[in-house]
Every structure is written in C-alpha cells, then in structure tokens.
Amino acid sequence: MKKLAVAALGGNALIRGSQLGTISEQENNARQTCEGLIALVKKGYDLIITHGNGPQVGNILLRNEAGYSTYKIPKMPLDICVADSQGGIGYMLEKELKNLLLKNKIKKNVITIITQVEVDPDDPAFKDPTKPVGGFFLKEEADLMARANSWVFREDPRKRGWRRVVASPHPVDIMNKKIIKELAREGNIVIASGGGGIPVMKNKDGSYDGIDAVIDKDLAGALLAIETGASEFYILTDIPKVYINFHKPEQKAIDKMSIRQALKHYKDGQFASGSMGPKVMAAINFTKHTGKDSIITESNKLNDINSGTRITK
C-alpha cells in the first residue's frame, strides 16, 4: 500500500506578508504552494491536504460588518464564516492542483470536503478566549460591538487597535474521517478540515450545533493525520526549519529532534504561541500517537529529503 501523507498548509499559502489578498495574489500563492505538493504525488504518496484560513475568515467577518451597517444584510456566525472560507480556499487549491496535475501528465481527481470538527463545549478555552479574528477597531468601536453582540475584545500587543477574540478549543473528532481516508486511499487528492474545521459541539441527544470558535489548523491537521492512519505528517510554513533562539545572534536550525527534546524546547519558551508553538505541539501529538515522523518545512522543499525539521519518537 502507498504511503499516506497529510500536509497542513500555513496561512502564507494564499496571502503573504502585506498583501491585500486579491484573487490574483491568492491564486499565484496557491499555485506556488501546490507545486511543492506535487512533489509528494510524484513520490507515490496518497495525499490529504488541510489549510489555514486566518486572513480569509477575517475578511469575511469584515464583510459581515460592512454589509450589516450599510445594507442591513444579516450577519453570519463564525461557524458559517469558517465554512465559507473552506469552500473558497478549497476551490482555489483544487483548481491550481488540477492544472499542475495536467501539466505533469498525472491523472488524479481532487476533491474538497467541507469538514466539521467536534470540540468539547466544556473546553477551558471557552472561558478564556484568546484567538484574534477580524479587523482592528478603536476602543470606542470595540466597546459598542462588545455590548451589541456580547463579544470579547482585547488590545493588540503591537498597539494597532482592538480585535475581537474567540475561543480556540482543542479538536476532539474529525467528522467524516472514514470517507476522507477512503477517498485518499482510492488515489484522490482530498482537501479537508480547512481552517481547523467548522467547530461543532455534540448535544446530549446526539445532534450537533455550530459554535463561535476557531480551531487551530495544525492541531486539527495532526488529529486528521492520526485518525486517517497517515504515514507522515507535514506542516508547511514560510521558513525552512524550526529554530531555537529564533531571530537572536545564537539562532540555530534544528534538523531532527525527538518528542522529549521538542517538549523541552517548547516548555523553555523557544516556540512562540502565535507561530511555531502550535506547529511543534501538533507534530508532537502526531508522532506521540503514531510513532511516525512529523516534518516541519517549506512547501517548496518537499523534493529534498534533508529539508525541514523532523520530529521523531
């Protein structure tokens, strides 16, 4: 049986740096990212792709506010916004992958599955929302929206304004994981659990409801890789390796580290909570549960077996 790889694309897969996020920018970035993923297909891997959605869902929330204030278009809750972003990003990735498969004379189907991810309604994250979403506002604007919508706002550490913060609970279960695995094992490239998945909670009667939250896409990607029996888990970002003492004179790239070493660096505060921290923890989760390797690297380095940082048991 072929190896199955799960690749989690970083937020820079579609919108980078100070880009506005125009469709031409996003399509060009998606094309470059997908060129790297084709390297895994050429190596014979079955492939599942998951992706971030931070900038996109933020823009959707801004359109929510603009549409309501100007035309009284009803606002949509965060779970619907995540679903919208999954569809749009999935379409862009599908299109670019299909074009690259055609260029490389590879016959494969590409399919996006709008994926719900179960979270625990009693997760402590709901009592302490920390994940910023949407745009920056003046304190007075933030106070008005907080009163009108029962939202929580916090000042940006870089003093750019006030942003809404929401809970970021841990993923508990990937819905339709069996179908995702079957499709991938049949040779299809599957895009699933985008943006960490649409957060849903299970009721006592077995039914599900959406909930205002954002799930970390790397942690959800690790769970997706575990539940689909992946051989390897790739976390693709905008730097070639994981570093300790990042951006310091004594900065050092790490080629390989065990779970024990990774946890030590994590506890020592080497990996920032808003960037490399969740990636390293996701890699630890996958390797701990499966005994298989996780690799953190750039998407254009997937042809190089020596690229990236490998987390081993």
Q: CA–CA separation, 133 vs 159, rounded Å?
A: 16
- Give me the pLDDT at residue 306, please: 80
The total of other beta-carbon atoms located within 10 Å of residue 140's CB is 9
- Look up 292 and say whether it is catalytic: no
**Exposed, middle or buried: residue 186 (CB in 10 Å: 0-12, 13-18, 19+)?**
exposed
279 is catalytic: yes
Catalytic residue list contains 12: yes
Region for 271 from its dihedrals, namely left if φ exceeds 0, alpha if ψ lies in -120 to 50, beta otherwise = beta
According to the model, what pLDDT value does residue 46 have? Answer: 98
The CA distance from 92 to 85, in Å, is: 11
Active site residue 72: no
> Which one from 177, 181, 279, 292 is the annotated catalytic residue?
279
Per-residue pLDDT in tens (0 to 9) along the chain, 313 residues: 899 999 999 877 888 878 888 999 999 999 999 999 999 999 999 999 999 998 899 889 989 989 999 999 999 999 999 999 999 999 999 999 999 999 999 999 999 999 999 999 999 999 999 998 887 899 999 999 999 889 999 999 889 999 999 999 999 999 999 999 999 999 999 999 999 999 999 999 999 999 999 999 999 999 999 999 999 999 999 889 999 999 999 999 999 999 999 999 999 999 998 789 999 999 999 999 999 999 999 988 888 878 899 999 9
The whole-number pLDDT of residue 173 equals: 98
CA dist 159 and 144 (Å) reads 19
Q: Which of 197, 48, 63, 84 is nearest to 134 (CA)?
A: 63
Report the DSSP pairing between strands 242-244 and 252-254. antiparallel
- Catalogue all structural domains in the chain, each as residue range(s) with its CATH number: 4-120+172-241+285-303 (3.40.1160.10), 129-166 (no CATH)
Active site residue 59: no
CA distances from 237 to 33, 53, 280 (A): 10, 14, 12
What pLDDT was estimated at residue 303? 83
